[in-house]
Structure 1
Amino acid sequence: MSQQGDRPATTDDWWGRLYDESARDTGPAEAPDDTIDDRFDSAADTLGAEGAADATTRAGYGQAVDAIGVDDEDDEDDAGDEDDDVDVAAAAGSGPVSRPLAWWEARGAYPVIQAPAPAPASPPTIVDTPPAVPPPPPPQAPTPAPSPVAPTPLTPRPRAPWEPPPAAFDPSDARPLPGAVDPAPPRVTTPAPAPAPDPRAAAPEAPIPPAPEPAPAAPLTYVGDGPPTYDAEPTALPATEAEALGQLVADTVLDGARYGTYTLRAASMRGDSARYRGEPRRDALLTARFGAGPSALVLVAVATGARATEGAHLSAADACRWIGGAVGRSHSRLGEDIRAGRRGDLKSGLHRLTDRTYGKLRARAAELGREPEDYTASLRCLLLSADPDCRTRVFFGVGGGGLFRLRDGAWQDLEPLLPEPADIRGEPVLGFGSARSEASAEQTSEGDRLTMDLEITKPPGPVVEDPVPPPPEPFRFRASVARPGDTLLLTSVGLAEPLRGEPALGDELAARWASAEPPGLAEYLSDVRLRVKGYADDRTAVGVWEA
């Protein structure tokens, strides 16, 4: 039990009692007569040894052991060697032993170890030389042997009772210290020199460098006899006013989509001449989708304002916007007619929608106080169904432009042809004053006369002072069925004219679009802007790639 009676003392309590902070330090013990001999006798009695050396012998033995400074690793092995048991007094140079040594005191004599003499200098290094007739080595003077150095006696010191006696020292067990240098230097061998080259041997052939790969050819930027006159990039912006910012048009418009079995690419850009003069782009482009799913209808409209007229880009934009609104309101019926292949219904219906669009253009010109021919535009459109089972492509419009098809690597011009006025043949229309009408009035087919000529004077016709206006542009319509691999191209006048006038342009586009995969938007724009000298108008092109 502890002093408090709480719990029994455990083995660990001795540590607390030993290092208790409350215990007072007793201080050093007073032992004036405590000497090394007394301590040695006490240790010998405690261990049960019989007899011990006297004080002088013990002091001398301790000093000899301290002077030698040998480890006690081999004490147990040396304990049984009788040849090493000699008088300790002989090693220390003392008198007779007063008592026998203990078992752990029986050791042999410990002579004083003298420092070994330094090793003689090593002989000169022999260098192996491989020549056939080596030159004789130069004579070398013999190196005098170093004079022996007298050993320095070691002063023994007293050994403490707790220090074990050292074992006998054997110089053969000595090991080199870490970092010591081997007195014998390594043998140096000189490599044999390379044999002289044989002049009769043929010189090795130098390796032939690989032929440099040809640099990729730069893409064509124009076709024809020479480069175009104007720069290829825009130079001047069109002038505008603060109140007319909504009338600005971009230099280039790019769009695309993919529905059903076709891929659509559309681009419109300002011509080189318009870029140079800072005029706005007269071409307008509209791409719109009406409805969703297979019944959806895609409309692409391209319009070009009248040349050399003010606000030509505005009339083109109005034409695209109004035809888009008309098609969007009737897209369900138009989509059904396209999927069913009703050509007659499509032609008549689209003709009415186009006439309404031009009627709005004439009304807009009247609002602006301008002539109808000054505020007009050519209009060309494509209707594409989103149904993957429908491959009918419908074209309609009014005015100039181009409709082409690339099939089997060759271009086909699909523009509906219009008859020339001189090619029109036929009898005049029956009416008042014609010879046929007068003959009809006099007699029937059987020759009977129905009326009589009363010689009544006919009134004069109306006087026309102004020139007769040119007849309006005829309506154009075409519906065709696309085949896999076809490319349909709808263009404005700016691209249709160089395609018809420069065959190299059509050949280059056919080579670029020969692959089955349609080009990307950037690649398509680069193809469409391929320039031709002498053609600097705005360009608008709509390409449809059939899967």
Structure 2
Amino acid sequence: MSQQGDRPATTDDWWGRLYDESAPDTGPAGAPDDTIDDRFDSAADTLGAGGAADTTTRAGYGHAVDAIGVDDEDDGGDEDEDLDVGAAGRGPISRSPAWWEARGVHPVIQQPAPAPAPAPPPTILDTPSGPPVPPPAPAPVPAPSPVAPAPLTPRPRAPWEPPPAAFDPGDPRPLPGAVDPPPPRVTIPAQATAPDPRSTAPQAPKAPSPPPPAPAALPTYVGDRPPTYDAEPTALPATDAEDLGRLVADTVLDGARYGTYTLRAASMRGDSARYRGEPRRDALLTARFGAGASALVLVAVATGARATEGAHLSAADACRWIGGAVGRSHSRLSEDIRAGRRGDLKSGLHRLTDRTYGKLRARAAELGRDPEDYTASLRCLLLSADPECRTRVFFGVGGGGLFRLRDGAWQDLEPLLPEPADIRGEPVLGFGSAGSDAPSEQTPDGDRLTMDLEITKPPGPVVEDPVPPPPEPFRFRASVARPGDTLLLASVGLAEPLRGEPALGDELAARWASAEPPGLAAYLSDVRLRVKGYADDRTAVAVWEA
């Protein structure tokens, strides 16, 4: 369209005539209403991926001219170059990001997508006059680069600027610089095949193994019924402020290890004494004399007379005095044990025991008491510390027991005492014996010599009390231990139930069947295994042979 005689058309005039509503459009219209938006969409479709990005910007922020920085009002600037996006075939517009894009507000990242099929390009007027010129062929769209664009560096926000808008979780587009989320963790079941030990991949944790079953509780008594008394102490013995040194503990526990043996010793009050508040009548002494291979270990167990006052004191005196006697002679005793001189040991220990009982009788006289009241049974063990010596010596006087556990069975090693009827001796002269030198009561004629002075004799005194029994005989035994043996020295309170209740021996044999000896606490629990009908004090000394 030409208007001769007018001044040359400027850019502003071309803009006004191009968009003047009064000027008819000479190009074919693709739609009844041809607006600038329709033309912009047509040009965007022609440009392909680059146009799609601008269309996205337009769809996200409103009018297309807002996206490229053109105001609705004409300010006289040179915006023609921005509008002619495809006139010279330059491809997508290259521009710097706006401030809201750099700050991460509604980020837009170009994602590779298949280009839509090009629509028939509309006819674009090159000048206000002349024939229509077909648009140039669209430039080939380069393939998207496999390298992701570098993330934009956000600009620091000024104090007057509003904070950036929060990211919409419903927006399918990722954030700038975001990385793909890690793949979900896969747990391998415990029944799967064993992993390859050469693999460096992390292995799934093993399923926790079930806890081991709790050990069965050990019995606290044997027999058909539980004992009558309580298992724990209920009363303390009475004492005086001036006699505190005479108190004895309810339980004594000791142990040691020398050479090839392990020693365990325990002494405790019986159930009846704990119930009545009586002191423990059993006394226990463990002592070592000397050092090295020549050292000698003494274990003494004494029990005071039953139902007598101060029975625990006489037992303690017996242990203390036999300990002193052995300690003063320990060098000679140790040599005799290692040399195996059984005869010398028996005679020497017999003398030491007699001296101990002589002191007990002297102490009873000092206290104004009968010797039978202030006495005690005494049983001792002598053990050499030499690893090459396995001779174990027992000696003593009075009741108790000496047992040996070998191959799972108990053996009673208590020395046998002769029966009173088996004891015979020569008749004593002057007490009814007829010796060759005895005077004759008859004359050579056979007459009996009688003398009757007619003096009336009063009747002799009548002896109603029984004759006191002879003192307890001395017991001695020396035996050679074998590996695996367990020697047990017991007072009356444990020896009687071992002989009277087979279940007690079976239970102890089962507990001590292991090669390792029990600890002090376990040993105390073993020897306090109760039996109904036996409530006396218990003292036990056990020696385990390695």
Q: TM-score, normalised by structure 2?
A: 0.61
Q: Secondary structure at the match of 1:254?
A: strand
Is 1:296 the equivalent of 2:295?
A: yes
CA distance in 1, matches of 2:492, 2:216: 31
Alignment deviations for residues 402-456 of structure 1 (CA, whole Å, 9 cap, x no partner)? 00001111110010111221344x464242243441x56489xxxxxxxx99948
Cα distance change on mapping 1:355 and 1:118 into 2, 3 Å = farther
CA distance in 2, matches of 1:314, 1:396: 21
Q: Is the 8 A contact 1:442 1:453 kept in 2?
A: no
1:241 is matched by which residue type in structure 2? D
The Cα of 1:473 is off from its aligned counterpart by 0.9
Is 1:362 the equivalent of 2:356?
A: no
Matching residue of 2:94: 173
Name the stretch that deviates more: 268-277 or 173-182.
Answer: 173-182
CA distance in 2, matches of 1:520, 1:504: 23
Matching residue of 1:81: none
CA distance in 2, matches of 1:493, 1:299: 20
Cα distance change on mapping 1:370 and 1:213 into 2, 3 Å = same
Q: Secondary structure at the match of 1:497?
A: helix
Gaps of 5+ in 2: 1-9, 13-35, 43-58, 78-83, 86-90, 114-170, 174-208, 441-445
Q: Is the 8 A contact 2:269 2:280 kept in 1?
A: yes
1:341 is matched by which residue type in structure 2? G
2:374 is matched by which residue type in structure 1? Y
Q: Secondary structure at the match of 2:387?
A: coil
Q: Is the 8 A contact 1:404 1:488 kept in 2?
A: yes
Cα distance change on mapping 1:156 and 1:506 into 2, 3 Å = farther
Q: Secondary structure at the match of 2:252?
A: strand
Cα distance change on mapping 1:290 and 1:535 into 2, 3 Å = same
Matching residue of 1:483: 482
Which runs of structure 2 are paired with 1:78-477 in the superposition (5 Å)? Answer: 151-153=71-73, 172-174=93-95, 175=97, 177=101, 178=104, 179-181=106-108, 186=172, 215-424=214-423, 426=424, 428-437=426-435, 439=436, 441=438, 455=449, 465=463, 467-477=466-476
1:434 is matched by which residue type in structure 2? G
1:509 is matched by which residue type in structure 2? L
1:373 is matched by which residue type in structure 2? E
1:269 is matched by which residue type in structure 2? M
Q: Secondary structure at the match of 2:522?
A: helix
Q: Is the 8 A contact 2:285 2:300 kept in 1?
A: yes
The Cα of 1:366 is off from its aligned counterpart by 1.1
Q: Is the 8 A contact 1:430 1:436 kept in 2?
A: no
Q: Is the 8 A contact 1:284 1:304 kept in 2?
A: yes
The Cα of 1:281 is off from its aligned counterpart by 0.6
Cα distance change on mapping 1:436 and 1:238 into 2, 3 Å = same
Q: Is the 8 A contact 1:302 1:492 kept in 2?
A: yes
Q: Secondary structure at the match of 2:93?
A: helix
CA distance in 1, matches of 2:526, 2:420: 37
CA distance in 2, matches of 1:543, 1:377: 21
Q: Is the 8 A contact 2:308 2:373 kept in 1?
A: yes
Q: Is the 8 A contact 1:239 1:278 kept in 2?
A: yes
Q: Is the 8 A contact 1:290 1:296 kept in 2?
A: yes
CA distance in 2, matches of 1:456, 1:257: 76
CA distance in 1, matches of 2:451, 2:239: 63
CA distance in 2, matches of 1:218, 1:469: 50
Cα distance change on mapping 1:91 and 1:477 into 2, 3 Å = farther
Alignment deviations for residues 30-75 of structure 1 (CA, whole Å, 9 cap, x no partner)? xxxxxxxxxxxxxxxxxxxxxxxxxxxxxxxxxxxxxxxxxxxxxx
Matching residue of 2:156: none
Cα distance change on mapping 1:510 and 1:436 into 2, 3 Å = same
CA distance in 2, matches of 1:368, 1:327: 26
Matching residue of 2:522: 523
Which runs of structure 2 are paired with 1:491-510 in the superposition (5 Å)? Answer: 491-510=490-509
CA distance in 2, matches of 1:524, 1:370: 38
2:307 is matched by which residue type in structure 1? A
The Cα of 1:372 is off from its aligned counterpart by 0.9
Q: Secondary structure at the match of 1:371?
A: coil
Superposed CA RMSD in Å reads 3.9
Matching residue of 1:160: none
Cα distance change on mapping 1:365 and 1:461 into 2, 3 Å = farther
Alignment deviations for residues 494-514 of structure 1 (CA, whole Å, 9 cap, x no partner)? 000000000000011111111
The Cα of 1:344 is off from its aligned counterpart by 1.3
Which runs of structure 2 are paired with 1:64-75 in the superposition (5 Å)? Answer: none
Cα distance change on mapping 1:332 and 1:148 into 2, 3 Å = closer
Cα distance change on mapping 1:313 and 1:427 into 2, 3 Å = closer
Alignment deviations for residues 170-200 of structure 1 (CA, whole Å, 9 cap, x no partner)? 961145823425799649xxxxxxxxxxxxx
Cα distance change on mapping 1:434 and 1:214 into 2, 3 Å = same
Name the stretch that deviates more: 365-374 or 313-322.
Answer: 365-374
Q: Secondary structure at the match of 1:383?
A: strand
CA distance in 2, matches of 1:474, 1:427: 16
1:289 is matched by which residue type in structure 2? R
Q: Is the 8 A contact 2:270 2:538 kept in 1?
A: yes
CA distance in 2, matches of 1:460, 1:294: 70
CA distance in 2, matches of 1:212, 1:335: 52
Cα distance change on mapping 1:149 and 1:294 into 2, 3 Å = closer
CA distance in 1, matches of 2:40, 2:360: 123
Matching residue of 2:513: 514
Cα distance change on mapping 1:497 and 1:454 into 2, 3 Å = same
1:530 is matched by which residue type in structure 2? L
2:510 is matched by which residue type in structure 1? A
1:505 is matched by which residue type in structure 2? L
Alignment deviations for residues 97-146 of structure 1 (CA, whole Å, 9 cap, x no partner)? xxxxxxxxxxxxxxxxx99x9999xxxxxxxxxxxxxxxxxxxxxx9xx8
The Cα of 1:517 is off from its aligned counterpart by 1.0
Alignment deviations for residues 215-250 of structure 1 (CA, whole Å, 9 cap, x no partner)? 432111111111111111111111111111111111
Q: Secondary structure at the match of 1:172?
A: coil
Q: Is the 8 A contact 2:427 2:433 kept in 1?
A: no
CA distance in 2, matches of 1:154, 1:240: 121
Cα distance change on mapping 1:171 and 1:314 into 2, 3 Å = same
Cα distance change on mapping 1:152 and 1:299 into 2, 3 Å = same
Cα distance change on mapping 1:119 and 1:225 into 2, 3 Å = farther
Cα distance change on mapping 1:147 and 1:309 into 2, 3 Å = closer
Cα distance change on mapping 1:261 and 1:461 into 2, 3 Å = farther
Q: Secondary structure at the match of 1:307?
A: coil
Q: Is the 8 A contact 2:222 2:530 kept in 1?
A: yes
Q: TM-score, normalised by structure 1?
A: 0.61
CA distance in 2, matches of 1:281, 1:154: 120
